[in-house]
Amino acid sequence: MSIEELNKKFQEAVARVNKHTEPFPADTLLKLYAYYKRATNDYGRPRSREALINAFKTNALFQARNISELEAKRKYIELVNKYFLYRE
């Protein structure tokens, strides 16, 4: 898959997640968060009002620290496709 195709599929996956109105399981949500942050090179600190949520987000980012931007996009797309496989 070319970089252009990967970027397009990533943007489609992000739109799909943003359009979804039901809550995601916490583990899925944290993985999506970490992959998205890595894929977009957004290294800002978590900004939740709850310290515990920030700790979980920080841990998710730490676990994804060794993957590249392209790999993060692939993992994000795979996770979204897997999550929605039997839900639509």
CATH of the domain at 14: 1.20.80.10
Summarised one tens digit per residue, pLDDT across range 74-84 is 999 999 999 99
Q: At 20, is the pLDDT very low, low, confident or very high (cuts 50, 70, 90)?
A: very high
For the chain, the domain total comes to 1
Contact 29, 2 (CB under 8 A): no
Structural domain boundaries, residue 17: 3-84
Return the pLDDT at 88: 64
Summarised one tens digit per residue, pLDDT across range 27-63 is 999 999 999 999 999 877 787 888 888 899 999 999 9
Which H/E stretch holds residue 55?
helix 51-63
Q: What share of the chain is helix, strand, coil (3-state, %, to 5)?
A: 70, 0, 30
